[in-house]
Amino acid sequence: MAIDNFVPELWEAAVQEPFEKALVYAQSNVVNTKYEGTIREKGDTVHVTSVGAPTIKSYDKSKDIEIEDLDDETSAMVIDQGDYFAFRVNDVDKVQAAGNFETPATKAAGIGMRDKVDRYVAGLIQPATKSANKLGRTVIVDGEPREATVGQTYAYHVLVKLREVLDGESVPTEGRFVVVNPTFISCLLLDRRYTDLSAAGTDAGLRQGQVGRATGFDVLVSNNVPKVGGSGSDKGDFVIAAGVPDAISFANQINSVEALRSGTRFADDIRGLNIYGGKVFRPEALATATVSFAPPAVAPAGG
């Protein structure tokens, strides 16, 4: 589709650029990206080998020790996702434009690609999480914790239960994250336990999307938190996910971004290709809760 509406007297000197979503799920503090440099093109496969733990046996100085062979297992992560953009900038439009629209358009394409990658990683978590680590449906009171009524709980309680699940799996405490949606954060901000403690416990720089700390988690907020989907009664519930980066491996490669002269028009063609893939290798290191939000059924006394 040609750019037909570039009337010179209506052009501003600067081209308005799009708002940029934070890259949350696909950042290195949420996923393991150490295999990223090994991929070259869509269809590449990364083989990851894991080794079983040795058996711990009782020692008896009068008996010979027993030597065992360790089991190993190889899993494959296939780089099977690919997205591209391509657009044309006509020479005549370049002359008419008061501002440079090639750079903003390329940036907008990059933002769109990143956002799609982020949604892809978000979608990997719930299906692969260990069944016992899924808390199931929870209704969170969209108000202060004291306003929760029968059948409701509060946001901070969900974080406590997610921590309990990971503790039960002996998941390392270092680097734990939880990704929540904006409504969940609003509910947390009404809880003194969160607002009093969310800034404590770390001197490190904030991760992208981080809005505090609570119950041992770096709390990250994202507009890409997935819904359960499907046709069930819980299809509109949000999937809140917690874990450590070693649970998910992800590789992403911007394969090509190039500008070339059009062979059929007086114009430049600008295009880019991004390839990626991911896999959950440690399902026991993730925990999820599917949540919905509801106002208090009964207004609190005196308020």
Residue 154 located in a structural domain: yes
* Res 7: pLDDT: 45
| Mean pLDDT (whole number) for 238-259 | 89
CATH number, domain containing residue 227: 3.30.2320
* Res 161: pLDDT: 97
Is 118 a residue whose pLDDT tops 50? yes
> In which band, very low, low, confident or very high, does the pLDDT at 11 lie, cut at 50, 70 and 90?
very low
Given the DSSP bridges, would you call strands 72-78 and 210-214 parallel, antiparallel or unpaired? unpaired
When divided into structural domains, the chain yields a total of: 1
The model's pLDDT over 160-182, given as tens digits with 9 standing for 90+, comes to: 999 999 999 999 999 999 999 99
Residue 257 located in a structural domain: no
The model's pLDDT over 186-208, given as tens digits with 9 standing for 90+, comes to: 999 998 888 876 554 554 445 56
Q: What is the DSSP letter of 71?
A: P
Is 45 a residue whose pLDDT tops 60? yes
Residue 232 located in a structural domain: yes
Which pair of tokens denotes residue 241? 């996910």
In the structure, how many helices (H) and strands (E) does the chain have?
A: 5, 11
> In which band, very low, low, confident or very high, does the pLDDT at 31 lie, cut at 50, 70 and 90?
very high
Which pair of tokens denotes residue 132? 């016992």
Residue 80 located in a structural domain: no
Residue 237 located in a structural domain: yes
Residue 51 located in a structural domain: no
> In which band, very low, low, confident or very high, does the pLDDT at 217 lie, cut at 50, 70 and 90?
very high
Give the pTM: 0.80
How far is Cα of residue 67 from the mean position of the Cα atoms in its chain? 43
Residue 37 located in a structural domain: no
Contacts of 195 (CB under 8 A, 6+ apart): 188, 189
Is the pLDDT higher at 107 or at 70?
Answer: 107
Residue 241 located in a structural domain: yes
Give the separation between CA 38 and CA 34, rounded to whole angstroms.
9
Specify the 3-state DSSP secondary structure of 301. coil
User: Residue 178 is part of which domain span?
Assistant: 132-247+284-294
| Closest by CA position to 243, among listed 159, 187, 182, 184 | 159
| Mean pLDDT (whole number) for 68-90 | 82
